[in-house]
Amino acid sequence: MPKIRLTKTEMKRQRDALRQFTRFLPTLQLKKQQLQMEMRKCEERRAELAREEAAAQAGLEPWVALFADPGAADWLAGRLRVTAVEADRLNIAGVEVPVFKNIRFQVEPYDLFLAAPWLDDALRLLQRLVELKVRGDLLAEQYRRLAHELRITTQRVNLFEKVKIPEAKENIRVIQINLGDQQTAAVGRGKIAKRKLQEVA
């Protein structure tokens, strides 16, 4: 802890700092609570998405034998392409996070008479799986950004609560004691000087 000057000016500076710390602390605590709440919501959305993905993958079970055919797998890989992923930016407690908006696919045209009848359903299912994967990636990024900001905010709250505010209070206490001692000494010196003046007169 740096050495402080034991003056009235320093006392005012320390009181101003304490007032500022106590004014900002509730805002930081509120931000911390908001971030924690948003992280819980994000975890719930990720769990829901994982359930949807598991259900979609369970829907693949009947198709597994068909996908084992190398020709069908190659055909599907060449037919489906992601052309755009649209995401909005949302400000949550001062943190910019990506939010899924839309995904666009391009399906290469194919002859409906030559293609297997199950390929339309397979393409729809693959589109759903890709969309769920993209949503999951965006939610993971959301969670990462929120966790980073929560860590920083928690550090600031702890700094204010455990270091800055107690330090300012202690500095004020030390300065008050010193100023009180100086005042008491001044009063004592004044009485001694008055007594000596009376003795001389």
pLDDT at 72: 62
DSSP structure string for 30-98 = HHHHHHHHHHHHHHHHHHHHHHHHHHHHHTTGGGHHHHTSHHHHHHHHHHEEEEEEEEEEEEETTEEEE
DSSP assignment letter at 115: S
Reported as a pLDDT band with limits 50, 70 and 90, residue 34 is very high
Could you state, in order of their start, the residue ranges of all structural domains in the chain? 24-162
Reported as a pLDDT band with limits 50, 70 and 90, residue 194 is confident
**Greater model confidence, 63 or 135:** 135
Per-residue pLDDT tens over the stretch 112-152: 666 666 677 778 888 888 899 999 999 999 999 999 999 99
pLDDT at 187: 78
**Greater model confidence, 37 or 110:** 37
This prediction has a pTM of 0.76
Distances (CA, A) of 127 to 13, 152, 163: 63, 38, 53
Amino acid at 192: I
**Greater model confidence, 78 or 96:** 96
Structural domain 24-162, CATH architecture: Orthogonal Bundle (1.10)
- Give the pLDDT mean for 32-43: 94
DSSP assignment letter at 5: P
How far is the C-alpha of 143 from the C-alpha of 121, rounded, in Å?
Answer: 33
Q: Which of 5-9, 53-57, 197-201 has the highest mean pLDDT?
A: 53-57
- Give the pLDDT mean for 36-60: 91
pLDDT at 64: 66
Counted residue by residue, the chain has a size of: 201
**Greater model confidence, 82 or 159:** 159
